[in-house]
């Protein structure tokens, strides 16, 4: 049995061996008997210059390779090490082709052994990690990684990662390994050999199952814990009303807790609202510590009154921060255990019965096999069964749609019901002191007759400035080309052997016949598939005709108004949509009728029962799609509310990228009637709720009034006057008086000088991609920033969090950000020294929701600019400013390059909404002096 692994990492001049790129550093680590035995590393002379970006990434420069051996010279030693070994690499499809090409050039035979990929292995062994990049895995698993992007360090950490994956899999229960091993034969690398070896080893030395795990119906999973109702009220004492009582409480919790008068003040306001049954809006500046300020009174309210409190946040990250950090801190302060639960929508949870049955399928589709393996490992860890814990591939997410919890549609007993994750979350919520959810879930439940949130009479909404947007999105509808094509392919024609085929097979088995003949159902499906292509083809042409010069930014939105449907050119779209709706209905009826026949008195096997559950869940999504198409063409005005409808897509991928959106223009009425009117007390809090000291705009958006809610402003404890230099350039042109290209050129020149003075550490916020791209390109092409890492949204690859991490890693870095960087980005300390706003953050007037809101306000006789555009821009401005100072020791430069902040009548609305800070109007030279003295 092979027990020798060679773990290889290489650095190269580029990404393609076939295009002539060569190896510049080679490292190999030998593992025998699951121990690291030796490592060999060598620079390699590639016979070609090292590109600048490779030199920047790896630190390997031409002069370091001048005296290095050619690959030909070290090839015999490498061949010797590879003998009788398994080749291991992190992304084996990169390293192995390079090695094979170099061996070919050296006139040597190719490597013909097994290969294993640690990217694939770590996805299975650690299915909940956020990223599978080598540096991120090293950090997550505490593997020392001294020099990322150098072959010696990368090879060593890959070897340690490989051993960590083996160790994790070897620790899994025998029943889990017995399911993983056969699935592993469908993987891309030869990990099946290793899974088989681990399984055989486990059979020889089977351990007792740990007490926290159980095996049910051949699947190992973590036992669920429901905290039983306390026998009588727990002792929490009375709420600490005075500052002295609060200080005593915090001091008793030990070190690490900072006394913040502003936080104590907010606690009292939240306490007052909850105990008196009132609504309150609290604007709490950065540094107040608002999480603990609302959690402490929430805990007293929940435990003392035995009435649970619901906390809603905007992001998944904040949900987990509350549960894993803030509530644990609160328990230390109170010295009372709190019953907490995270609540999400039903489709976030795994349906164990469907999953169990899907494991019996002969499925060799890569993404679903990988997802099955990930879920089997995850079940030994998860207590929630919540998909947000998992890092699934795009194809894995499609598989999840099949096995998500969608309720029960038959009266046949589900053997897994006692272990169902969604029912468990609901049961925990009923016993909870504090339940945490997100705005999407909260708003999604508002319209239901029976909501999972009915038990909660006290609600705290954090990041409340997003509440109206979340309500609009959740009350909205969408239909996209990919989703519709996927759903049609999931049903499939008879010969494609998908859901329709399986249903027909079942009908034949029980000698049943649908009223709609198989041939007729086939014709309906074919016609629907063609109609979807026709509809989205027509919509793609509409989008292309309306596109402007996007200058490389490919995302486009096109609003569809009611008057469009009266135009001749839109009649074909209307008729095609109506035909699609009719086909969706006919197919739904044909499938439902078959399912009803099967359920009428037939003794179905468990596998058949699970299939019927899957079919009913699928049909629920299918019927929702039909409803969404009705709203698209204005046949159902969404409960009498005015809607905005638009198309959204990427010009590079039409019609595949096209999505039809429909949302209510204004969600305040929904929130007023379904949330505020139904709950005893709702606490709304955020760092940005007021415009020029007034809550009027926020109240108008969420459907509240000063009569029904109290308002409180708690300023930030930070000394912005001493921590921030706010500068408006006096020698840049006013953006409203010059062409965009001229403004971009002047801005780029100005920022080049500033970035030299700040040594990078600068985030530049834009409101349009066009301007961002122009400024980025001019700065990059200047040649003055060779030593700087330039990261630009929409140009550089990666998510917002990935770009932020990259920015923090480099000493000299400049981050060019669009809308998503204006808030929620936390870069404390010296990592961010200078924040630049190129333009005031007014939303584009032709953006569909903005345009529809302005139309709505005009009809009401209001001025759209003063009633919506300006206050919305001020709130975004405050959010952007909030990125600069994150702790009381931070210091920074705040530059606003848009002269309208001083030249227009509305400019003071922006400056007066900030904390007290001195504003300087300076020339570039004066600004550079200020920066030098300040930083």
Q: What is the pLDDT of residues 183-218, one digit of tens each?
A: 999 999 999 999 999 999 999 987 789 999 999 999
* pLDDT tens, residue by residue, 489-499: 999 999 998 99
* pLDDT tens, residue by residue, 231-288: 445 678 889 999 999 998 888 777 677 788 999 999 999 999 999 999 999 999 999 9
Helices (H), 648-758: 668-671, 696-702, 720-723, 740-758
Annotated binding-site residue? 286: yes
Pick the residue with more confidence: 296 or 226?
A: 296
Highest mean pLDDT among 235-239, 462-466, 631-635: 462-466
Residue 628, both tokens? 């969404």
Strand-strand pairing, 279-284 and 309-313: unpaired
Distance CA 467, CA 453 (A): 16
Count of Cβ atoms closer than 10 Å to residue 59 Cβ = 12
* pLDDT tens, residue by residue, 738-795: 898 999 999 999 999 999 899 888 999 999 888 999 999 999 999 888 888 899 988 8
Distance CA 431, CA 697 (A): 37
- Rounded to 5°, angle at Cα 606 from 605 and 610: 120
What number is the average pLDDT over the span 797-813?
A: 83
Annotated binding-site residue? 289: yes
User: By percentage, how much of the chain surpasses pLDDT 90?
Assistant: 64
Annotated binding-site residue? 218: no
Annotated binding-site residue? 285: yes
For residue 338, how far is the Cα from the chain centroid? 28
The reported pLDDT for the residue numbered 886 is 86
For residue 671, how far is the Cα from the chain centroid? 25
DSSP state of 220: E
| Partners of residue 712 on adjacent β-strands | 282
The reported pLDDT for the residue numbered 603 is 84
421 Cβ contact partners less than 8 Å away, ≥ 6 residues apart: 349, 350, 352, 384, 385, 386, 405
Helices (H), 759-847: 769-781, 800-809
Annotated binding-site residue? 665: no
Orientation angle between helical segments 327-334 and 290-305, nearest 10 degrees: 60
**Domains defined along the chain, listed by start:** 4-209 (3.30.420.10), 340-431 (no CATH), 485-664 (no CATH), 720-934 (3.40.50.300)
The reported pLDDT for the residue numbered 160 is 96
The reported pLDDT for the residue numbered 228 is 54
pLDDT exceeds 60 at position 14: yes
753: nearest Cα among 557, 924, 570, 518: 924
Reported for 219-222, long-range contacts at CB under 8 A and 24+ positions apart, including other chains, are: 219/175, 219/176, 219/179, 219/352, 219/356, 219/359, 219/376, 219/379, 220/172, 220/173, 220/175, 220/176, 220/379, 220/380, 221/352, 221/379, 221/380, 221/382, 221/419, 222/379, 222/380, 222/381, 222/382, 222/383
307: nearest Cα among 435, 454, 458: 458
Distance CA 912, CA 726 (A): 13
645: nearest Cα among 538, 563, 540, 537: 563
For residue 496, how far is the Cα from the chain centroid? 34
Distance CA 333, CA 320 (A): 19
**Contact assessment for residue 137 and residue 125, using Cβ atoms and an 8 Å cutoff:** no
DSSP state of 390: S
The reported pLDDT for the residue numbered 676 is 96
Cα–Cα separations (whole angstroms), residue 686 to 233, 458, 766: 32, 18, 23
- Range with the poorest average pLDDT among 42-56, 276-290, 657-671: 42-56
Annotated binding-site residue? 287: yes
Measure CA of the first residue to CA of the last residue in the chain; give whole Å. 63
What number is the average pLDDT over the span 504-529?
A: 92
Cα–Cα separations (whole angstroms), residue 774 to 820, 839, 847, 933: 19, 14, 21, 31
Distance CA 113, CA 404 (A): 39
Annotated binding-site residue? 284: yes
The 3-class secondary structure across 464-503, one letter per residue, is HHHHHHHHHHHHCEEEEHHHHHHHHHHHCCHHHCCHHHHH
Count of Cβ atoms closer than 10 Å to residue 564 Cβ = 17
Using CB atoms within 10 Å of the CB of residue 586, give its burial: 0 to 12 exposed, 13 to 18 middle, 19+ buried: middle
DSSP 3-state assignment of 844? coil
**Contact assessment for residue 662 and residue 480, using Cβ atoms and an 8 Å cutoff:** no
What average pLDDT does the structure give for the chain? 90
**Banded model confidence at residue 1, pLDDT cuts 50, 70, 90:** very low
* pLDDT tens, residue by residue, 873-920: 999 999 999 888 888 888 899 999 999 999 999 999 999 999 999 899
């Amino acid at each position: 049995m092979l027990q020798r692994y060679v773990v290889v990492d290489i650095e190269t001049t580029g990404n393609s061996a076939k295009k002539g790129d060569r190896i510049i550093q080679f490292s190999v680590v030998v593992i025998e008997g699951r121990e690291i035995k030796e490592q060999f590393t060598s620079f390699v002379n590639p016979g070609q210059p090292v590109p600048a970006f490779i030199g920047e990434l790896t630190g390997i420069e031409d002069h370091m390779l001048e005296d290095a051996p050619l690959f030909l010279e070290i090839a015999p030693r490498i061949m010797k090490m590879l003998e009788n070994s398994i080749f291991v690499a992190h992304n084996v499809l990169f390293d192995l082709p390079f090695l094979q090409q170099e061996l070919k050039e050296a006139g040597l035979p190719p490597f013909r052994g097994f290969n294993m990929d640690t990217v694939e292995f770590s996805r299975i062994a650690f299915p909940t990690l956020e990223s599978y990049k080598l540096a991120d895995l090293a950090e997550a698993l505490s593997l020392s990684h001294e020099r990322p992007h150098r072959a010696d360090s990368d090879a060593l950490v890959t070897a340690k990662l490989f051993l960590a994956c083996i160790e994790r899999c070897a620790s899994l229960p025998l029943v889990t390994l017995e399911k993983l091993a056969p699935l592993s034969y469908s993987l891309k690398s030869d990990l099946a050999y290793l899974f088989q070896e681990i399984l055989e080893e486990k059979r020889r030395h089977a351990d007792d199952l740990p007490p926290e795990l159980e095996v049910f119906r051949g699947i190992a999973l973590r036992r669920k814990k429901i905290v039983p109702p306390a026998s009588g009220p727990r002792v929490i004492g009375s709420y600490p009303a005075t500052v002295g009582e609060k200080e005593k409480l915090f001091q008793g919790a030990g070190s690490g807790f900072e006394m913040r008068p502003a936080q104590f003040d907010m606690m009292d306001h939240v306490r007052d609202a909850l105990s008196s049954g009132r609504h309150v809006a609290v604007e709490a500046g950065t540094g107040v510590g608002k999480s603990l300020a609302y959690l402490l009174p929430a805990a007293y309210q929940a435990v003392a009154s035995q009435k649970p409190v619901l906390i809603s946040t905007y992001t998944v990250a904040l949900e987990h921060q509350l549960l894993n950090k803030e509530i644990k801190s609160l328990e230390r302060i109170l010295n009372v255990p709190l019953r907490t639960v995270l609540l999400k929508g039903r489709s976030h949870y795994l349906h164990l019965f469907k999953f169990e049955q899907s494991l019996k399928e002969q499925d060799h589709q890569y993404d679903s096999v990988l997802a099955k393996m990930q879920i089997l490992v995850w079940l030994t860890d998860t207590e929630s069964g919540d998909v947000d814990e998992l890092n699934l591939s795009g194809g894995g997410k499609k598989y999840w749609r099949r096995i998500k919890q969608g309720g029960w549609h038959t009266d046949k007993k589900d053997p897994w019901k006692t272990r169902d994750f969604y029912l468990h979350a609901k049961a925990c919520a009923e016993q909870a002191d504090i339940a945490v959810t997100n705005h999407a879930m909260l708003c999604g439940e508002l319209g239901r007759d029976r909501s999972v949130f009915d038990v909660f009479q006290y609600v705290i909404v954090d990041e409340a400035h997003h509440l109206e947007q979340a309500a609009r999105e959740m009350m909205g509808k969408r239909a996209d080309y990919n989703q519709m094509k996927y759903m049609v392919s999931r049903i499939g024609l008879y010969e494609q052997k998908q859901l329709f085929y399986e249903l027909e097979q079942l009908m034949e088995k029980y000698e049943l016949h649908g009223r709609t003949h198989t041939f007729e159902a086939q014709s309906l499906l074919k016609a629907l598939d063609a109609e979807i292509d026709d509809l989205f083809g027509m919509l793609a042409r509409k989008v292309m005709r309306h596109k402007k010069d996007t200058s490389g930014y490919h995302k486009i939105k096109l609003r569809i108004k009611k008057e469009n449907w009266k135009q001749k050119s839109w009649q074909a779209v209307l008729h095609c949509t109506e035909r699609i709706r009719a086909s969706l209905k006919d197919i739904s009826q044909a499938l439902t009728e078959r399912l009803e026949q099967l359920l009428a008195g037939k003794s179905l096997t468990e596998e058949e029962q699970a299939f019927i559950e899957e079919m009913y869940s699928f049909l629920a999504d299918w019927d929702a799609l039909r409803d969404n198409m009705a709203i698209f063409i204005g046949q159902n005005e969404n409960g009498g509310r005015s809607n905005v409808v638009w198309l959204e897509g990427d010009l590079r991928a039409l019609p595949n990228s096209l999505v039809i959106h429909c949302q209510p223009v204004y969600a305040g009425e929904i929130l007023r009637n379904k949330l505020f009117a139904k709950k005893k007390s709702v606490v709304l809090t955020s760092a940005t709720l007021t415009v020029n000291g007034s809550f009027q705009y926020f109240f108008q958006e969420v459907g509240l009034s000063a009569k029904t809610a109290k308002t409180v402003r708690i300023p930030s404890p930070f000394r912005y006057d001493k921590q921030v230099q706010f500068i408006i350039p006096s020698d840049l042109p006013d953006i409203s008086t010059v062409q965009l290209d001229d403004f971009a050129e002047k801005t780029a020149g100005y920022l080049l000088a500033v970035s030299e003075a700040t040594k990078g550490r600068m985030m530049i916020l834009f409101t349009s991609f066009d301007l961002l791209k122009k400024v980025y390109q001019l700065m990059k092409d200047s040649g003055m920033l060779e030593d700087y890492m330039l990261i630009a949204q929409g140009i550089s690859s990666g998510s917002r969090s990935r770009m932020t991490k990259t920015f923090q890693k480099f000493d000299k870095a400049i981050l060019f950000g669009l809308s998503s960087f204006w808030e929620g980005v936390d870069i404390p300390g010296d990592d961010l020294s200078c924040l630049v706003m190129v333009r005031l953050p007014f939303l584009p007037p032709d953006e569909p929701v903005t345009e529809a809101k302005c139309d709505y306000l005009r009809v009401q006789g209001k001025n759209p600019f003063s009633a919506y555009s300006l206050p919305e821009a001020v709130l975004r401005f405050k959010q952007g400013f909030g990125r600069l100072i994150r702790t009381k020791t931070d210091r920074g430069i705040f530059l606003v390059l848009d002269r309208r902040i001083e030249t227009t009548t509305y400019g003071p609305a922006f400056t007066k909404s900030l904390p007290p800070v001195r504003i300087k109007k300076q020339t570039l030279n004066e600004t550079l002096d200020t920066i030098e003295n300040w930083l």
